[in-house]
Amino acid sequence: QVYVYGDSLQSFPIAIVLLDDDFVQKWAAENDNDSIVLDTDESKRQLTEIVLKDMIEKGKERDLMSFEQVKVITIITEPFTIENGLLTPTFKARRYAV
């Protein structure tokens, strides 16, 4: 899950990214980096850099302007659900809860 938010007071959008642990392990194995886990701050910092770099590359491939590019991301481990209050019953993100 990825939630991208554009704040009129900022010059760039931000993203909240939920990474699946299975995906992280698969990606780490494919990229010869077996030390990445979501449990440590250092690994989250590494993953943040990796994901942000990938998002910027994908944005450039699609000709996004610099102000359209995500510049800051936060990695979370809890999915957006109705039960935890991050989604509405119609599956929309609760902006002020996120």
How, if at all, do strands 14-18 and 2-5 pair?
Answer: antiparallel
Cα separation, 73 vs 6, whole angstroms: 12
The pLDDT, as a whole number, for residue 1 is 84
Domain that holds residue 38: 2-76
Give the pLDDT of residue 56.
Answer: 93
Is residue 32 a part of any domain in this protein? yes
- pLDDT given at position 52: 92
The answer to the question of residue 94 being in a domain is no
Average pLDDT, the chain: 84
Number of domains in the chain: 1
Contact 42, 33 (CB under 8 A): no
Contact 13, 68 (CB under 8 A): yes
59-68 pLDDT tens trace: 999 999 988 9
Residue 37's pLDDT is what? 64
- What pLDDT, on a 0 to 100 scale, did the predictor assign at position 57? 94
Which pLDDT tens digit goes with each residue over 31-52?
A: 766 666 666 777 788 888 888 9
